[in-house]
Amino acid sequence: MHELGITQNIIAIVAEHAQGSKVQRVLLEIGKLSAIMPDAIRFCFDICSQGTVLEGAKLEILETPGLGKCRECGATIPLEQPFGKCQCGSTQIDLIAGEELKIKEIEIEEICV
């Protein structure tokens, strides 16, 4: 399960950016063509965040659809897998979306002094 290593990296990156502040929420963007299973990330997140500034943080995941652009006619087409066939008949498709893994937002607790 490569999601465990991915989640450990996400936790490390977010903790570094939080600079010791308690993290309340993390928003990830995961492309449907990325070969990353959002449910596995959710499962690993709770385990990996224990004992860190992310413990108890809410994890939100946006799944972005796969999109390709036809090299022949320039059409943008939805993709359910990392390859496809355009309506013009071409299989020369460049992936333009759906492979991403991004930390979109981090919400940290404000400390009032």
- Cα 95 to its chain centre, rounded Å, is 16
Contacts of 52 (CB under 8 A, 6+ apart): 11, 15
Q: 44 among the known binding-site residues?
A: no
Q: Is 48 annotated as a binding residue?
A: no
Please name the amino acid found at residue 97. A
Burial status of residue 64 (CB atoms within 10 A of its CB: 0-12, 13-18, 19 or more) = middle
Binding-site residues for Zn(2+), in ranges, read: 70, 73, 86, 88
Residues placed in the known binding site: 2, 70, 73, 86, 88
Binding site for Ni(2+), residues?
2
